[in-house]
């Protein structure tokens, strides 16, 4: 016997969680794009989206965030730190690849320096993932050894019912169990069938790619130039990616006061590695593209034992020149290590 949440109870669930002080967030479609956004009622959710255009990352690591304020008065300089937010949230309807992205980045944000902003948000947010029953041509979780029903990074996994009337509930963590206690009386016991998972064919051989990337002789291969010739360095792939995590600090203000902000950055931008002397160790777009691939599938797993990609496909789906990581890895799969 498994517990079931029926869709017609979702409005009550949202109201219960909101009453308990949780901000409820889910996939929402706006006129021209879709993202994870705050919802007030069940009708606000759009579970028909294969994947929101924007990943879940920005809810934990915002595109721009104040870290510190400063004021200068004659001989005095006063600073004040901004504290991490304490808002409690539940994300209902995350996709497995997006939840996995959070788990992939956890070791990075806790590595040489513990990022309290990331972990405060992680600790105060319940992730309820809905297993995917449909995918598009860009989805590639299986190529990354994940799946449409991966539980990585999730607190609760929901499996859509075959009859499309709700979900089977699998509570995975204490945080998830706690959130579902609020709605325990709205759940039913049952033995309904789950709908079949989305079929996501493997698009490349990851092990073959990693072997090629690890061979130092391939660092200067002409392959990099050929594969990245049309990249315009817009950085969309980085900003949409649930696992890309590079940032920069900028001071905004004047001589007397201002704010130090943490802003997303991208290895696709030429300024990312530009020295003040004007020298740029990654002076070409192909060197920057090589860095992106090497970082995700060689350097990052070398340090944290996990690839920095969850296979969401956004970098390919939304690249303005129809490039992205999939084509590169498919091409590498065919090369001799």
| 114 Cβ neighbours under 8 A, 6+ residues apart | none
Please report how close the Cβ of residue 334 comes to ligand SF4 at its closest, in angstroms: 19
Complex with ligand SF4: residue 290 or 314, whichever CB lies closer: 314
Complex with ligand SF4: residue 93 or 324, whichever CB lies closer: 324
| 148 Cβ neighbours under 8 A, 6+ residues apart | 96, 131, 132, 133, 135, 139, 141, 197, 198, 200
Residue among 231, 293, 306, 332 that touches ligand SF4 (CB under 6 A): 231
Residue whose pair of structure tokens reads 């405060």 in the numeric block? 120
Please report how close the Cβ of residue 267 comes to ligand SF4 at its closest, in angstroms: 9
Residue 153 found at the interface with ligand SF4 (CB under 6 A): no
Residue 218 found at the interface with ligand SF4 (CB under 6 A): no
Choose the binding region for ligand SF4 from 14-22, 146-154, 155-163, 228-236 (rule: CB under 6 A): 228-236
* Contacts of ligand SF4 in 251-310 (CB under 6 A): 268, 296, 309-310
Please report how close the Cβ of residue 142 comes to ligand SF4 at its closest, in angstroms: 12
Please report how close the Cβ of residue 299 comes to ligand SF4 at its closest, in angstroms: 14
Beta bridge partners of 161: 194
State how far Cα 270 lies from the chain centre: 24
Please give the C-alpha separations between residue 212 and each of 219, 298, 335, in angstroms, as whole numbers.
9, 10, 7
* Contacts of ligand SF4 in 310-329 (CB under 6 A): 310-315, 319-321, 323-325
Order of strands, edge to edge, in the sheet holding 64-73?
A: 76-81, 64-73, 257-264, 247-253
| 33 Cβ neighbours under 8 A, 6+ residues apart | 53, 54
State how far Cα 188 lies from the chain centre: 32
Residue among 234, 274, 331, 335 that touches ligand SF4 (CB under 6 A): 234
* Contacts of ligand SF4 in 240-259 (CB under 6 A): 240-243
Nearest to 94 by CA among 131, 121, 68: 131
Strands 188-190 and 23-29: unpaired
Residue among 236, 264, 291, 300 that touches ligand SF4 (CB under 6 A): 236
The residues binding ligand SF4 (CB under 6 A) are 231-237, 240-243, 268, 296, 309-315, 319-321, 323-325
């Amino acid at each position: 016997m498994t517990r079931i949440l029926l869709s017609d109870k979702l409005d009550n669930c949202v109201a219960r969680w909101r009453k308990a002080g949780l901000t409820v967030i889910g996939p929402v479609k706006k006129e021209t794009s879709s993202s994870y956004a705050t919802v007030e009622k069940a009708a606000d959710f759009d579970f028909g989206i294969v994947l929101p255009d924007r990943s879940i990352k920005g809810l934990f690591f915002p595109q721009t965030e104040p870290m510190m304020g400063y004021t200068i008065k004659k001989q005095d300089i006063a600073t004040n730190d901004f504290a991490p937010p304490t808002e409690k949230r539940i994300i209902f309807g995350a996709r497995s690849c997006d939840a996995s992205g959070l788990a992939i980045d956890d070791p990075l944000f806790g590595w040489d320096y513990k990022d309290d902003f990331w972990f405060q948000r992680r600790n105060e947010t319940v992730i309820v993932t809905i297993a995917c029953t449909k995918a598009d041509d860009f989805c590639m979780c299986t190529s990354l050894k994940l799946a449409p029903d991966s539980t990585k990074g999730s607190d609760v996994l929901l499996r859509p019912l075959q009859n499309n009337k709700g979900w089977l509930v699998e509570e995975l963590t204490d945080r998830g169990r706690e959130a579902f206690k609020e709605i325990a009386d709205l759940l039913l016991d049952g033995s309904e069938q789950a709908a079949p998972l989305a079929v996501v064919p493997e698009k490349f051989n990851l092990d073959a790619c990693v072997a090629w990337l690890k061979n130092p002789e391939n660092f200067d291969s002409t392959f990099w130039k050929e594969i990245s010739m049309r990249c315009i360095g817009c950085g969309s792939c980085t900003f949409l990616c649930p696992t890309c995590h590079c940032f920069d600090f900028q001071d905004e203000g004047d001589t007397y006061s201002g704010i130090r902000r943490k802003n997303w950055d991208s290895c696709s931008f030429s300024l990312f590695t530009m020295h003040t002397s004007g020298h740029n160790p990654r002076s070409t777009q192909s060197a920057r593209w090589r860095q992106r691939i090497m970082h995700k599938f060689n350097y990052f797993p070398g340090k944290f034992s996990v690839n920095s990609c969850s296979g969401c496909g956004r970098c390919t789906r939304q690249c303005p020149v129809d490039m992205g990581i999939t084509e590169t890895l498919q091409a590498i799969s065919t090369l001799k290590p």
